[in-house]
Structure 1
Amino acid sequence: MLKVVEILPGWTGPHADHVALDYDGRHRRRMTLTGAHGLSFLLDLPAARLLHGGDGLKLDDGRVVVVEALPEPLMEVRGDDGVHLLRLAWHIGNRHLTAQVEAERILLRYDRVIGHMLEHLGAKVTAVTAPFDPEGGAYGDVHHDHDHDH
Protein backbone atom coordinates (compact mmCIF):
# COMPACT_ATOMS: atom_id res chain seq x y z
CA MET A 1 0.00 0.00 0.00
CA LEU A 2 1.16 3.54 -0.74
CA LYS A 3 2.26 5.55 2.30
CA VAL A 4 2.41 9.26 3.11
CA VAL A 5 6.06 10.29 3.45
CA GLU A 6 5.66 14.05 3.89
CA ILE A 7 3.02 16.66 4.64
CA LEU A 8 3.25 19.70 2.36
CA PRO A 9 1.51 22.69 4.04
CA GLY A 10 -0.60 24.83 1.70
CA TRP A 11 0.17 22.74 -1.40
CA THR A 12 -0.73 24.51 -4.66
CA GLY A 13 1.03 22.23 -7.13
CA PRO A 14 -0.34 19.36 -9.19
CA HIS A 15 -2.05 16.52 -7.39
CA ALA A 16 -3.21 13.00 -8.21
CA ASP A 17 -6.31 12.98 -5.98
CA HIS A 18 -7.94 14.67 -3.00
CA VAL A 19 -9.53 13.58 0.27
CA ALA A 20 -12.42 15.53 1.82
CA LEU A 21 -12.50 15.26 5.62
CA ASP A 22 -14.19 17.05 8.51
CA TYR A 23 -12.20 18.27 11.53
CA ASP A 24 -12.22 14.90 13.31
CA GLY A 25 -11.23 13.11 10.12
CA ARG A 26 -8.30 15.51 9.63
CA HIS A 27 -6.90 15.01 13.14
CA ARG A 28 -5.22 11.64 12.93
CA ARG A 29 -2.05 9.73 13.51
CA ARG A 30 -2.70 6.57 11.53
CA MET A 31 -5.46 5.68 9.08
CA THR A 32 -6.10 4.32 5.61
CA LEU A 33 -7.59 6.92 3.28
CA THR A 34 -9.14 6.70 -0.17
CA GLY A 35 -9.26 9.77 -2.38
CA ALA A 36 -12.25 10.92 -4.41
CA HIS A 37 -10.75 9.28 -7.52
CA GLY A 38 -9.99 5.97 -5.79
CA LEU A 39 -6.35 6.37 -4.77
CA SER A 40 -5.83 4.47 -1.47
CA PHE A 41 -2.93 5.13 0.88
CA LEU A 42 -1.80 4.91 4.50
CA LEU A 43 -1.24 7.93 6.74
CA ASP A 44 1.13 6.80 9.50
CA LEU A 45 2.59 9.70 11.52
CA PRO A 46 4.74 9.57 14.68
CA ALA A 47 2.04 11.56 16.55
CA ALA A 48 -1.49 12.73 15.86
CA ARG A 49 -1.69 16.06 14.07
CA LEU A 50 -4.29 18.22 12.41
CA LEU A 51 -4.19 18.22 8.63
CA HIS A 52 -5.33 21.58 7.28
CA GLY A 53 -7.43 22.21 4.21
CA GLY A 54 -4.99 22.69 1.33
CA ASP A 55 -2.22 20.51 2.78
CA GLY A 56 -0.61 18.09 0.37
CA LEU A 57 0.14 14.51 1.34
CA LYS A 58 3.21 13.35 -0.58
CA LEU A 59 3.12 9.62 -1.22
CA ASP A 60 6.13 7.32 -1.43
CA ASP A 61 5.70 7.12 -5.22
CA GLY A 62 5.99 10.95 -5.51
CA ARG A 63 2.32 11.71 -6.15
CA VAL A 64 0.49 14.24 -3.98
CA VAL A 65 -3.02 14.01 -2.53
CA VAL A 66 -4.61 17.29 -1.41
CA VAL A 67 -6.61 17.55 1.83
CA GLU A 68 -9.98 19.34 1.58
CA ALA A 69 -11.67 20.56 4.79
CA LEU A 70 -15.36 19.62 4.66
CA PRO A 71 -17.97 22.08 5.89
CA GLU A 72 -19.58 21.14 9.23
CA PRO A 73 -22.02 22.66 11.75
CA LEU A 74 -20.33 25.48 13.66
CA MET A 75 -21.16 28.53 15.75
CA GLU A 76 -20.01 31.94 14.62
CA VAL A 77 -19.31 34.20 17.62
CA ARG A 78 -19.14 37.97 17.19
CA GLY A 79 -18.70 40.72 19.74
CA ASP A 80 -19.74 44.39 19.82
CA ASP A 81 -16.14 45.47 19.15
CA GLY A 82 -12.60 44.15 19.32
CA VAL A 83 -12.32 44.34 23.09
CA HIS A 84 -15.63 42.50 23.55
CA LEU A 85 -14.48 39.78 21.13
CA LEU A 86 -11.24 39.45 23.12
CA ARG A 87 -13.24 38.98 26.33
CA LEU A 88 -15.34 36.32 24.62
CA ALA A 89 -12.15 34.64 23.38
CA TRP A 90 -10.87 34.58 26.98
CA HIS A 91 -14.03 32.76 28.16
CA ILE A 92 -13.76 30.30 25.27
CA GLY A 93 -10.08 29.66 26.01
CA ASN A 94 -10.77 29.28 29.72
CA ARG A 95 -12.96 26.31 28.79
CA HIS A 96 -10.22 24.85 26.56
CA LEU A 97 -12.51 24.84 23.54
CA THR A 98 -11.06 24.29 20.09
CA ALA A 99 -11.56 27.57 18.21
CA GLN A 100 -10.83 29.14 14.84
CA VAL A 101 -9.91 32.75 15.58
CA GLU A 102 -10.39 35.39 12.90
CA ALA A 103 -10.22 39.20 12.92
CA GLU A 104 -13.93 39.77 13.52
CA ARG A 105 -15.28 36.40 14.59
CA ILE A 106 -14.53 33.14 16.34
CA LEU A 107 -15.75 29.81 15.00
CA LEU A 108 -16.53 26.94 17.37
CA ARG A 109 -18.01 23.50 16.95
CA TYR A 110 -21.73 23.70 17.57
CA ASP A 111 -22.63 23.36 21.26
CA ARG A 112 -25.97 24.65 22.50
CA VAL A 113 -24.78 25.12 26.10
CA ILE A 114 -21.66 27.08 25.11
CA GLY A 115 -23.72 29.16 22.68
CA HIS A 116 -26.15 30.03 25.47
CA MET A 117 -23.29 31.02 27.80
CA LEU A 118 -21.75 33.27 25.13
CA GLU A 119 -25.10 34.95 24.43
CA HIS A 120 -25.36 35.74 28.15
CA LEU A 121 -21.96 37.41 27.81
CA GLY A 122 -23.41 39.63 25.06
CA ALA A 123 -22.12 37.71 22.03
CA LYS A 124 -24.04 37.38 18.80
CA VAL A 125 -24.01 33.63 18.13
CA THR A 126 -25.10 32.32 14.73
CA ALA A 127 -25.24 28.76 13.46
CA VAL A 128 -23.14 28.40 10.28
CA THR A 129 -21.84 25.59 8.12
CA ALA A 130 -18.20 26.01 7.13
CA PRO A 131 -14.87 24.18 7.10
CA PHE A 132 -13.33 24.20 10.60
CA ASP A 133 -9.60 24.98 10.80
CA PRO A 134 -8.90 25.80 14.46
CA GLU A 135 -5.78 27.08 16.17
CA GLY A 136 -3.28 24.36 17.03
CA GLY A 137 -2.42 25.49 20.53
CA ALA A 138 0.79 26.80 22.07
CA TYR A 139 2.40 23.35 22.20
CA GLY A 140 1.32 22.04 18.81
CA ASP A 141 -1.96 20.68 17.54
CA VAL A 142 -4.42 20.20 20.37
CA HIS A 143 -7.50 18.04 19.93
CA HIS A 144 -9.75 18.11 22.95
CA ASP A 145 -12.73 20.00 24.24
CA HIS A 146 -13.21 19.86 27.98
CA ASP A 147 -14.23 21.93 30.94
CA HIS A 148 -12.69 21.81 34.38
CA ASP A 149 -12.42 23.80 37.58
CA HIS A 150 -9.32 25.90 38.22
Structure 2
Amino acid sequence: MLELIKRIDGTASTDIYDTLTLPYELRIRGRLKAVSDNDRDMGLFLDRGPMLRHGDLLQAKSGEVIQVLAADEPVATAYIESGLPLARLCYHLGNRHVSLALGSDEDGRHWVRFPPDHVLEELAVLLGAELVHHEAPFDPESGAYAQAGREHSHSHSHDHAHSQSHDHDHSHSSTQHHDHNHSQHDGHTHAH
Protein backbone atom coordinates (compact mmCIF):
# COMPACT_ATOMS: atom_id res chain seq x y z
CA MET A 1 0.00 0.00 0.00
CA LEU A 2 1.24 3.45 -0.94
CA GLU A 3 1.23 5.68 2.17
CA LEU A 4 0.32 9.26 1.33
CA ILE A 5 1.73 11.41 4.12
CA LYS A 6 2.17 14.96 2.87
CA ARG A 7 0.37 17.71 0.94
CA ILE A 8 2.69 19.39 -1.56
CA ASP A 9 2.67 22.37 -3.88
CA GLY A 10 3.15 21.26 -7.46
CA THR A 11 4.65 22.85 -10.50
CA ALA A 12 4.11 22.16 -14.19
CA SER A 13 7.10 19.84 -14.09
CA THR A 14 5.78 17.70 -11.21
CA ASP A 15 5.71 14.06 -12.29
CA ILE A 16 2.28 12.60 -11.39
CA TYR A 17 2.57 8.91 -10.52
CA ASP A 18 -1.19 8.23 -10.25
CA THR A 19 -4.54 9.89 -9.56
CA LEU A 20 -7.02 9.35 -6.76
CA THR A 21 -10.64 10.27 -7.49
CA LEU A 22 -12.73 10.83 -4.37
CA PRO A 23 -16.18 12.25 -3.57
CA TYR A 24 -16.46 15.27 -1.29
CA GLU A 25 -17.28 13.25 1.84
CA LEU A 26 -13.94 11.40 1.55
CA ARG A 27 -11.90 14.49 0.62
CA ILE A 28 -12.62 16.02 4.02
CA ARG A 29 -10.91 13.13 5.84
CA GLY A 30 -7.24 12.93 6.74
CA ARG A 31 -7.21 9.15 7.31
CA LEU A 32 -8.52 6.87 4.62
CA LYS A 33 -7.89 3.64 2.72
CA ALA A 34 -8.63 3.92 -0.99
CA VAL A 35 -7.83 2.50 -4.42
CA SER A 36 -6.24 4.78 -7.01
CA ASP A 37 -7.53 5.25 -10.54
CA ASN A 38 -4.90 2.71 -11.64
CA ASP A 39 -5.99 0.12 -9.03
CA ARG A 40 -3.20 0.75 -6.53
CA ASP A 41 -3.99 0.42 -2.82
CA MET A 42 -3.40 3.71 -1.03
CA GLY A 43 -3.70 5.00 2.48
CA LEU A 44 -4.01 8.65 3.49
CA PHE A 45 -2.11 9.51 6.63
CA LEU A 46 -2.44 13.29 6.64
CA ASP A 47 -2.54 15.78 9.49
CA ARG A 48 -5.88 17.43 10.04
CA GLY A 49 -6.16 20.30 7.66
CA PRO A 50 -8.15 21.71 4.82
CA MET A 51 -10.18 19.38 2.67
CA LEU A 52 -8.50 17.90 -0.37
CA ARG A 53 -9.41 19.97 -3.41
CA HIS A 54 -9.62 18.92 -7.04
CA GLY A 55 -6.04 19.01 -8.35
CA ASP A 56 -4.26 18.85 -4.97
CA LEU A 57 -1.04 16.87 -4.84
CA LEU A 58 -0.03 14.36 -2.18
CA GLN A 59 3.36 12.80 -1.69
CA ALA A 60 3.86 9.21 -0.62
CA LYS A 61 6.35 8.18 2.04
CA SER A 62 8.34 6.58 -0.80
CA GLY A 63 8.31 9.84 -2.85
CA GLU A 64 5.60 9.26 -5.49
CA VAL A 65 3.21 12.15 -6.19
CA ILE A 66 -0.52 11.46 -6.43
CA GLN A 67 -3.04 13.97 -7.77
CA VAL A 68 -6.46 14.18 -6.11
CA LEU A 69 -9.49 14.52 -8.39
CA ALA A 70 -13.06 15.38 -7.37
CA ALA A 71 -15.44 12.57 -8.31
CA ASP A 72 -18.73 13.14 -10.08
CA GLU A 73 -21.53 12.77 -7.53
CA PRO A 74 -25.20 13.70 -7.22
CA VAL A 75 -25.59 17.47 -6.81
CA ALA A 76 -28.22 20.18 -7.12
CA THR A 77 -27.11 23.17 -9.16
CA ALA A 78 -29.10 26.39 -8.86
CA TYR A 79 -28.67 28.71 -11.85
CA ILE A 80 -29.47 32.33 -11.11
CA GLU A 81 -28.98 35.83 -12.47
CA SER A 82 -25.76 37.52 -11.36
CA GLY A 83 -25.72 40.52 -9.05
CA LEU A 84 -28.28 40.88 -6.30
CA PRO A 85 -30.20 37.62 -7.04
CA LEU A 86 -26.93 35.61 -6.82
CA ALA A 87 -25.86 37.46 -3.67
CA ARG A 88 -29.27 36.89 -2.07
CA LEU A 89 -29.20 33.17 -2.89
CA CYS A 90 -25.66 32.77 -1.50
CA TYR A 91 -26.63 34.70 1.63
CA HIS A 92 -29.69 32.60 2.41
CA LEU A 93 -28.06 29.25 1.59
CA GLY A 94 -24.97 30.28 3.55
CA ASN A 95 -27.14 30.99 6.58
CA ARG A 96 -28.04 27.28 6.53
CA HIS A 97 -24.34 26.50 7.17
CA VAL A 98 -23.98 24.15 4.23
CA SER A 99 -21.00 23.78 1.93
CA LEU A 100 -21.52 25.55 -1.38
CA ALA A 101 -19.63 25.53 -4.66
CA LEU A 102 -19.89 28.66 -6.79
CA GLY A 103 -19.18 29.11 -10.46
CA SER A 104 -20.37 29.96 -13.91
CA ASP A 105 -20.74 27.87 -17.04
CA GLU A 106 -19.28 28.55 -20.49
CA ASP A 107 -22.37 30.64 -21.33
CA GLY A 108 -21.70 32.91 -18.36
CA ARG A 109 -24.66 31.66 -16.31
CA HIS A 110 -23.86 31.79 -12.59
CA TRP A 111 -24.61 28.85 -10.36
CA VAL A 112 -24.53 27.68 -6.76
CA ARG A 113 -24.04 23.94 -6.22
CA PHE A 114 -24.79 21.86 -3.13
CA PRO A 115 -25.59 18.25 -2.18
CA PRO A 116 -29.26 17.39 -2.88
CA ASP A 117 -31.50 18.63 -0.08
CA HIS A 118 -35.21 19.33 -0.61
CA VAL A 119 -35.29 22.25 1.86
CA LEU A 120 -32.35 24.01 0.18
CA GLU A 121 -33.77 23.25 -3.25
CA GLU A 122 -37.15 24.78 -2.34
CA LEU A 123 -35.38 27.87 -0.98
CA ALA A 124 -33.32 28.24 -4.18
CA VAL A 125 -36.43 28.03 -6.37
CA LEU A 126 -38.29 30.46 -4.10
CA LEU A 127 -35.44 32.95 -4.60
CA GLY A 128 -35.70 32.67 -8.40
CA ALA A 129 -33.15 30.00 -9.28
CA GLU A 130 -33.56 27.36 -11.96
CA LEU A 131 -32.67 24.04 -10.33
CA VAL A 132 -30.95 21.12 -12.09
CA HIS A 133 -30.22 17.68 -10.57
CA HIS A 134 -27.22 15.94 -12.12
CA GLU A 135 -23.84 14.39 -11.40
CA ALA A 136 -20.81 16.68 -11.26
CA PRO A 137 -17.73 17.25 -9.10
CA PHE A 138 -18.56 18.95 -5.80
CA ASP A 139 -15.64 21.16 -4.81
CA PRO A 140 -17.11 23.72 -2.38
CA GLU A 141 -15.64 27.02 -1.29
CA SER A 142 -13.16 26.57 1.51
CA GLY A 143 -14.32 29.64 3.44
CA ALA A 144 -12.67 32.89 4.43
CA TYR A 145 -10.95 31.53 7.53
CA ALA A 146 -9.29 28.76 5.53
CA GLN A 147 -7.75 31.38 3.23
CA ALA A 148 -5.89 32.97 6.13
CA GLY A 149 -4.92 29.69 7.78
CA ARG A 150 -6.61 26.67 9.23
CA GLU A 151 -7.22 28.09 12.66
CA HIS A 152 -10.61 29.67 13.21
CA SER A 153 -9.81 32.81 15.12
CA HIS A 154 -11.49 36.07 15.82
CA SER A 155 -9.60 39.29 16.18
CA HIS A 156 -11.77 41.37 18.44
CA SER A 157 -10.38 44.53 19.88
CA HIS A 158 -11.51 45.39 23.34
CA ASP A 159 -9.76 48.65 23.98
CA HIS A 160 -11.50 50.28 26.85
CA ALA A 161 -9.88 53.69 26.81
CA HIS A 162 -11.89 56.09 28.85
CA SER A 163 -11.41 59.67 27.82
CA GLN A 164 -12.22 61.34 31.08
CA SER A 165 -10.38 64.43 32.16
CA HIS A 166 -9.00 64.01 35.64
CA ASP A 167 -7.66 67.41 36.57
CA HIS A 168 -8.51 66.87 40.21
CA ASP A 169 -7.47 64.35 42.78
CA HIS A 170 -10.07 61.68 43.23
CA SER A 171 -10.50 58.22 44.63
CA HIS A 172 -12.96 55.47 43.91
CA SER A 173 -14.72 54.22 46.97
CA SER A 174 -15.55 50.59 47.38
CA THR A 175 -19.17 51.36 46.54
CA GLN A 176 -18.29 52.42 43.00
CA HIS A 177 -18.10 49.59 40.53
CA HIS A 178 -17.01 49.75 36.88
CA ASP A 179 -18.29 46.69 35.04
CA HIS A 180 -17.54 45.73 31.44
CA ASN A 181 -20.14 43.38 30.06
CA HIS A 182 -19.24 42.18 26.57
CA SER A 183 -21.99 39.64 26.10
CA GLN A 184 -23.75 41.84 23.57
CA HIS A 185 -20.91 44.11 22.47
CA ASP A 186 -20.80 42.94 18.85
CA GLY A 187 -23.22 40.07 18.59
CA HIS A 188 -20.65 37.57 19.89
CA THR A 189 -20.41 36.21 23.39
CA HIS A 190 -17.01 36.73 24.92
CA ALA A 191 -15.63 35.29 28.10
CA HIS A 192 -13.01 37.44 29.84
Q: Which has the higher contact order (CA 8 A, sep 6+)?
A: 1
Q: After TM superposition, is the score higher than 0.5?
A: yes
Once residues 10 and 73 of structure 1 are traced to their aligned partners in structure 2, the CA distance between those partners, rounded to angstroms, is: 29
The 3-state SS of whatever aligns with 1:126 is strand
Mapping of residues 1-150 of structure 1, within 5 Å:
1-9=1-9, 12=12, 13-103=14-104, 104-140=110-146
**C-alpha distance in 2 between matches for 1:23 and 1:98:** 10
Q: Which protein has the larger Cα radius of gyration, Structure 1 or Structure 2?
A: 2
TM-score (norm 1): 0.82
Contact 1:53 1:67 in 2 (8 A): yes
Deviations 1:80-100 (A, max 9, x none): 332111000000111111001
Corresponding residue pairs, total: 141
- Give the root-mean-square deviation of aligned CA atoms: 2.0
Q: Tell me, which stretches of 5 or more residues in structure 2 are unaligned? A: 105-109, 151-192
TM-score normalised by structure 2 residue count: 0.66
More strand per residue: 1 or 2? 1
Residue 92 of structure 2 aligns to a residue whose secondary structure is helix
1:92 to 1:10, Cα distance in 2 relative to 1, 3 A: farther
- Secondary structure, aligned partner of 2:141: coil
Output the CA distance in 2 between the equivalents of 1:49 and 1:109: 19
